[in-house]
Amino acid sequence: MKRFVVIALIIVSTGCRKKQQPLSPNLNVANKVAMRTVSLFYEGQDLLLAPERRDLPLPENPAGALAVVVRELVKGSANSAVPRLLPADTVVRGAYLLPDGTAFVDLGGPTLTQGWATGSHQELMAVYSVVQTVTVNFPEAKRVRMLVNGEPAETLGGHVSLARPFAPQPSVVAR
């Protein structure tokens, strides 16, 4: 009887499996990855954000492209004279876009976790650097909510409240 049950389970389990589609030999083609120009926002000499354009290989789907763009922003400006807006050890844990237009950007790293000792202007520029980058490159994103280590946080550095999502702020961008 026991042997019969085992054989029956094997037959049932093999018959119920869906045949898996073979993986595409080229995931870039399957994900429709192509070079796209994005605008990353860094602080300029006038203490306002200015776009820096880069070409990145991005999937067509905004859900897949969002984290790639934010990771590129966190790397810093290609111009070594432009100071970093976020701590050098900042990592992008994830980035998500909800159907209602809210983008979530989850940051982490030792400095943000232990408490970033920065001034209010730098913190404000860091927050809006992320907000402007996300909303300019992803028109479906209307607002950005920032998380630290997967959780809502009061602030990044003690000055700018992260209690609510941020809408784009054209007044912090150079014309």
Average pLDDT over residues 159-165: 96
pLDDT at 35 over 80: yes
φ, ψ of residue 124 to 5 degrees: the values are: -60, -45
Helix, strand or coil, per DSSP, at residue 81 = coil
Which pLDDT score, from 0 to 100, does residue 6 have? 54
- Count Cβ neighbours within 10 Å for each residue of 49-62 and write b for 16 or more, e otherwise: bbbbebebebbeeb
Which pLDDT score, from 0 to 100, does residue 43 have? 96
Higher pLDDT, 171 or 7: 171
The single residue listed with the structure tokens 């859900």 is 63
Mean pLDDT of the chain: 88
**pTM for the whole structure:** 0.82
pLDDT at 23 over 70: no
What percent of the chain shows pLDDT beyond 90? 77
